């Protein structure tokens, strides 16, 4: 609740004045969610695993999405049940794809990368596979969406102490107070940029 109040207070300052932002923030690096997921290629499979020491399929999805501030249900079945239904022709990178494998219903999942490829936690570890391969093609159940297409490429992982992200819609100047309590212009933020907001205590 404390962090939410701080974030609201930040927006109340930025929107009316468009002149200053919290000095305890830093510009965000843009990184595609799918590129972030690929960083874990080779991490071993672990039943029930949800950390870079070892992932199962739904644990991998949960971990990747959590880094972008999105909380997924923990199991493949729950992820399938709660996601937004989309047709296979509408899939974009970042959508989730589901399969029936060792039991009836959704029992396996991955993150769609585009070009009929997806990344997932297989028995061999995190790897990229094809939706057109014989095994997955015959077991494919469907796709679900948790992130709107226009937002996927602009997401950036949360950092320690971060309480939110501001998406710049109008050009504003970033100001910072020096030791003499005087404001100094640091840089101009342009439309389309993202800006991380941090808890001042961190």
Q: How confident is the model at residue 171 (pLDDT cuts 50, 70, 90)?
A: low
Q: State the catalytic residue, choosing from 72, 120, 129, 174.
A: 120
**Mean pLDDT, residues 100-115 taken together:** 94
Distances (CA, A) of 138 to 17, 92, 101, 111, 181: 57, 21, 10, 18, 66
Q: State the catalytic residue, choosing from 21, 57, 72, 113.
A: 57
pLDDT averaged over the chain? Answer: 78
Q: Is the pLDDT of residue 81 over 80?
A: yes
Compare 48 and 194 and report the one with higher pLDDT: 48
Q: Residue 19: which residues within 8 A CB-CB, separation 6 or more? A: 172, 173, 175
At residue 21, the pLDDT reads 31
Does residue 130 carry a catalytic annotation?
no
User: What's the half-sphere exposure (Cβ side, CA atoms, 13 Å) at 189?
Assistant: 23
Q: Classify strands 140-145 and 125-130 as parallel, antiparallel or unpaired.
A: unpaired
Q: Residue 40: which residues within 8 A CB-CB, separation 6 or more? A: 52, 55, 60, 64, 126
- 111-163: per-residue pLDDT in tens? 999 999 999 999 999 999 999 999 999 999 999 999 877 666 556 666 666 65
What gap in Å lies between CA 56 and CA 78, rounded to an integer? 15
Q: Minimum mean pLDDT among 22-31, 51-60, 154-163, 167-176: which range?
A: 22-31
At residue 17, the pLDDT reads 34
Does residue 57 carry a catalytic annotation?
yes
At residue 125, the pLDDT reads 98
Q: Structure tokens of 97? A: 């794809």
Q: Is the pLDDT of residue 11 over 60?
A: no
Does residue 95 carry a catalytic annotation?
no
At residue 179, the pLDDT reads 81
Q: Structure tokens of 27? A: 């510009």
**Mean pLDDT, residues 33-45 taken together:** 95
Q: State the catalytic residue, choosing from 55, 79, 108, 146.
A: 108
Q: How confident is the model at residue 41 (pLDDT cuts 50, 70, 90)?
A: very high
- 79's enclosing H/E stretch is helix 76-82
Closest CA to 19 of 173, 170, 171: 173
């Amino acid at each position: 609740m404390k962090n939410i109040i701080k974030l609201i207070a930040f927006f109340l300052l930025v929107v009316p004045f468009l002149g200053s932002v919290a000095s305890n923030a830093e510009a965000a690096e843009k990184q595609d969610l799918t590129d972030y997921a690929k960083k874990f290629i080779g991490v071993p499979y672990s039943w029930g695993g949800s950390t870079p020491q070892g992932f199962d399929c739904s644990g991998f999805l949960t971990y990747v999405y959590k880094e972008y501030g999105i909380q997924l249900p923990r199991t493949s079945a729950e992820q399938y049940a709660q996601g937004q239904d989309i047709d296979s022709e509408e899939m974009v990178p970042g959508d989730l794809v589901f399969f029936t494998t060792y039991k009836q219903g959704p029992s396996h999942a991955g993150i769609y990368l585009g070009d009929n490829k997806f990344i997932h936690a297989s028995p061999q570890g995190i790897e990229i596979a094809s939706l057109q391969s014989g095994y997955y093609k015959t077991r494919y159940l469907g796709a679900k969406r948790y992130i709107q297409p226009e937002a996927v490429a602009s997401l950036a992982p949360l950092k320690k102490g971060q309480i939110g992200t501001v998406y710049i819609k109008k050009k504003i100047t970033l100001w910072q107070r020096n030791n003499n309590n005087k404001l100094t212009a640091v840089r101009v933020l342009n439309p389309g940029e993202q800006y991380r907001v941090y808890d001042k205590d961190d």
